Amino acid sequence: MRRLILFIVLALLFGGFFPAVLAQEPEREKTCFVYFTGVGCPHCAKTDPVVLFDLPREHPNIVVIEYEIYQQQENAPLLLEYGNRYGVNPMELGVPLIILSEAKYIVGDRPILSNIDTIVELEKNPCPLVDGSSVAFNDLDLTDLPGKPKIWTDERILIKTSGGNENELLRNLLTSSDLSSVLNGANYKVIEPGPVALSGKNIYFDNAIELDGWIFQWNGGWTGETIHASADKINQNSNEPEEIKKELTLIKLISLAAVDAINPCALAVLALMLIAILTYNPKKKRNILLAGSAFTASVFIMYLFYGLIIIKFFQVVQTLTAMRLWLYKILGVFAIILGVLNVKDFVKYKPGGLATEMPLSLRPKVRKIISKITSPKGAFGVGIFVTVFLLPCTIGPYVIAGGILSAFEIIKTIPPLLLYNIIFVMPMIAITLIVYAGFARVEDVSGWKEKNIRYLHLIAGIIMFALGMAMVFGLV
């Protein structure tokens, strides 16, 4: 009887214990990979939410080391270094890009989305490092990661801001189920959660703290002090950087358009066209208004078309290569060069200056074409054709403007392009109205242009040089 009772007791004790032990699965090793993206990249907008949020949230064993390269210039060289170390085809190098291991990478939105299951099925994958080596996540020194990475896992994100040396604390924040214990005695500051920008959207977290050189945000409960931002506050914070970006872009575009508007060759072509109309039929002043308006409209339409082509070209270049990393500063240098050339034309003027005026070789052809204008309808048709000859002396500021706008989706570039070209044609509209109203003759306008051409170049040169310097040194 005693043996039976002892057997029952042991069965109850160990019968519940062993199944529980057997039911406890060992913690899976982390699957870690590096992901390159860019805020504003339309292809990244398709992959960012899946790779950075959905994937780590649904599979807690996955860790994503994100390097954003459009807004974080410190991360720019890392794309090239990782590409070289891990055998990425230089012709494919771009974003979005996932680096898994040596010669194992996925580039492009469609390949990444179609291979998500392959990544999930990886039982473990050590974190690929920039020197070509790899290390298990549990042995990774987060403080040694170069650039400004973001580490995503299980509805948590760790954002590097400057550095720090608390590697064990940082890793525990990403892996521990008891954050209160991890933070007990640690030096941190509770902050208001801020939006984390992805390409095309923002991600919001419930809690946030600031540590030495890092920001940690996560979802879920916490027994410590928590700050929850109201919806209005979150919306205000998330829109503020975008509004500042748009405001600075608007200032740059207005400055470039103003330079383009006072371009001497554009004013010269309009004057030639008005003279041709008056010469053919001097008694019909109404033709001045109609022809000037038709010519201005044709220039406006064609330059809007050219602008969209320029923007699309830059976007294609950015998709194929890492050109976007350096584009802004290259455009700034280009603006400085144009500014210097315009100032040179003020100091020592010579007609047909390089990149500042219509080449002398083209001028006879333009005069010949314009001399055939006999009606407002003809002015519109010739205006479309003549814009090709205007490009050599007006394209400089427009290329810079197109490069700046290429960071936005093509549909969002139309309003600023419209504004740019309205400013560009305003002198044409003003001259047409002045001549039509009889306040001045076409010859007077043409003579004023020739008399003040050096000062027009000086104004344009100062604006371009100042804007270029500000772009190169990151002031705008």
- CB of 46 within 8 A of CB of 113? yes
What residues contact 366, with CB distance under 8 A and at least 6 apart? 269, 272, 358, 386, 389
pLDDT at 322 over 70: no
Whether residue 96 is preceded by a cis peptide bond, meaning omega within 30 degrees of 0, is: yes
- pLDDT value for 5: 54
pLDDT at 177 over 90: no
Q: Kindly state the tokens that stand for 455.
A: 């000062």
**Which of 218, 239, 283, 266 has the alpha carbon at shortest distance from 383?**
266
pLDDT at 21 over 50: no
The more confident residue out of 415 and 444 is: 415
- pLDDT value for 247: 61
Terminal Cα-to-Cα distance of the chain (whole angstroms): 90
- pLDDT value for 281: 64
Q: Are strands 104-107 and 189-190 parallel, antiparallel or unpaired?
A: unpaired
Structure confidence by residue, pLDDT tens digits, 348-394 = 888 877 767 777 777 787 777 777 777 777 888 877 877 877 777 77
Q: How confident is the model at residue 238 (pLDDT cuts 50, 70, 90)?
A: very low
**Which of 153, 218, 230 has the alpha carbon at shortest distance from 183?**
218
Domains of the chain, by residue range, sit at 31-229, 244-472
Mean pLDDT, the chain, integer: 80
> What's the average model confidence in pLDDT over 177-185?
86
What residues contact 182, with CB distance under 8 A and at least 6 apart? 169, 172, 173, 176
- CB of 116 within 8 A of CB of 100? no
Q: How confident is the model at residue 233 (pLDDT cuts 50, 70, 90)?
A: very low
- pLDDT value for 368: 79
> What's the average model confidence in pLDDT over 456-471?
85
Q: How confident is the model at residue 224 (pLDDT cuts 50, 70, 90)?
A: low
Q: How confident is the model at residue 158 (pLDDT cuts 50, 70, 90)?
A: very high
Burial 91-122 (b: 16+ CB within 10 A, else e): eebbbbbbbbeeeebbbbbeebeeebeebeeb
- pLDDT value for 260: 85
CA triplet 421, 414, 390: central angle to 5 degrees? 35
- pLDDT value for 25: 42
Max mean pLDDT range (14-28, 52-66, 72-86):
52-66
pLDDT at 236 over 60: no
